[in-house]
Amino acid sequence: MSERLETWIDAAIGETREALVRDGKPIALRIVRASDDGRRARWGEIYCARVREIDRRRRGAFLDLGLRDQSGFLPLGDDGRARRAGRERERVALHEGQGVVVAVAREAARGKNPVIELQETGHDGEAPHLIGRHESDEEMLLAKPADTAMRGKLDAAIEDALAKIVPLPGGGMLSIEPTAALVAIDVDAGGRPGSGDPERFALELNVAAAREVARQLRLRSLGGLVAIDFVHLRAKSHRKQLEDEVRQSFADDPWNVQFGGLSSFGVYELARAQYRTPLHEQLRDADGRIGLETVALMALRAIEREARAGSGRQIACTVAGEVKAWLDAAEIGWRAELSNRIGMRWSLDAAPEGAFWPRDKIDARAQ
């Protein structure tokens, strides 16, 4: 019998957050932000675009998608031609200024442009613009605001998915470190209870780790090369058992996974397709700090939460000056939406100048 799946979803001000949950445990997260509209490409979107530059050194073409922050990158073959999606043998020569219809095959990640696929030629190339979204994103647009309990569960799921250290069932932990080149994962026994058989202990720890690695990569939208440093196994049969377990753990992964093998040093390599921007790149800055937009939207949810519990009282919220500045400059219309949800009984202020106020500190309270 298949395991029970459910969806947690919340249309908050400025972003809609969704979690796919198996037996009470989140296995995938997705966040769609209002600020992305007109700025960043999302997987599965379709654009009328214009070829801006053909870069033969990089074997690709940069396309204007009509976005403020991103250009699309279309890979070209050795012959300098593009492959038309769905027609493996058809190669198309492009020229700068040409209009085409393209689909987003991979969102921007690790500082690289979104990768696109050629769908059709013949567009006039004027005023590049979005013409279609993936059906799953269309469904996100229909989501409703969740209650306080559901928001709390989503908050906890996202916080866990951003953590570097992940506890394992039965004890032990994973350390997950995305880098520019790969995702490095270390398996540590931690405080896991031991047994009289060290080899059996290592095998059980590694099996638990393999299952959790598969969940965490999907949860965090991590892809590319992944290196897992398992606890060393001596027995050849146990090494084979672990390799089989890794493959089985990824059996229901919706993204393509290619498996390497277990090296003599206990490191297992695999490659997972990267379609969406990793969660940490969405929610954190390049230096690892939580992003201004992330904190700003957290503050709006905090005001709404306090208003729901405050029985008509005025809600005052204080945030770091840089967070207040982001909200003042935001183009997402949050003021009107917040007032529509809770009325005009809120105020938002910056922390006093000179006061120590961490970026992620939010003080929202009923007065």
pLDDT above 70 covers a percentage of the chain that reads: 99
Domain hosting residue 194, numbered range: 163-279
Judge contact between 49 and 72, C-beta under 8 A: yes
Same domain (yes/no): 21, 144:
yes
* Residue at 212 is within a domain: yes
- Give the mean model confidence (pLDDT) for residues 336-347: 94
Residue 3 banded pLDDT, cuts 50, 70, 90? low
Dihedral pair phi/psi, residue 50, rounded to 5°: -130, 135
Is there a single domain that holds both residue 32 and residue 147? yes
Three-class SS state of 17: strand
Residues 188, 272: one domain? yes
**Looking at the structure, do residues 12 and 152 belong to the same domain, yes or no?**
yes
- SS3 assignment, position 272: strand
Q: Is residue 41 part of a domain?
A: no
Residue 293 in this model has a pLDDT that exceeds 50: yes
Distance CA(176)–CA(209), nearest Å, equals 12
User: What 3-state class would DSSP assign to 313?
Assistant: coil
pLDDT tens per residue, range 92-128? 999 999 999 999 999 999 889 999 999 999 888 889 9
Looking at 230, 258, 279, the residue that finishes a domain is 279
Over range 346-363, report the average pLDDT: 94
The SS3 call for residue 275 is coil
Phi/psi of residue 117, nearest 5 degrees: -120, 140
Backbone dihedral angles phi then psi of residue 181, each to the nearest 5 degrees: -95, -35
pLDDT tens sequence across 153-207: 999 999 999 999 999 999 999 999 999 899 999 999 988 887 778 899 999 999 9
Q: Are residues 257 and 180 in the same domain?
A: yes
Residue 285 lies in a domain: no
Is residue 107, in this structure, part of any structural domain at all? yes
Is the pLDDT assigned to residue 1 strictly greater than 60?
A: no
Average pLDDT over residues 333-350: 95
Summarize pLDDT for 215-238 with one digit per residue, the tens. 999 999 999 999 999 999 999 999
Report yes or no on 286 lying in a domain: no
Residues 201 and 149 in one domain: no
Structure tokens at 51: 């070829």
Instruction: Tally the domains of the chain.
Output: 4
* Entry field: residues in the chain: 367
Q: Name the residue with higher pLDDT: 314 or 86.
A: 314
Q: What is the mean pLDDT of residues 252-281?
A: 94
Average pLDDT over residues 307-324: 92
The model's pLDDT over 53-79, given as tens digits with 9 standing for 90+, comes to 999 999 999 999 999 999 999 999 999
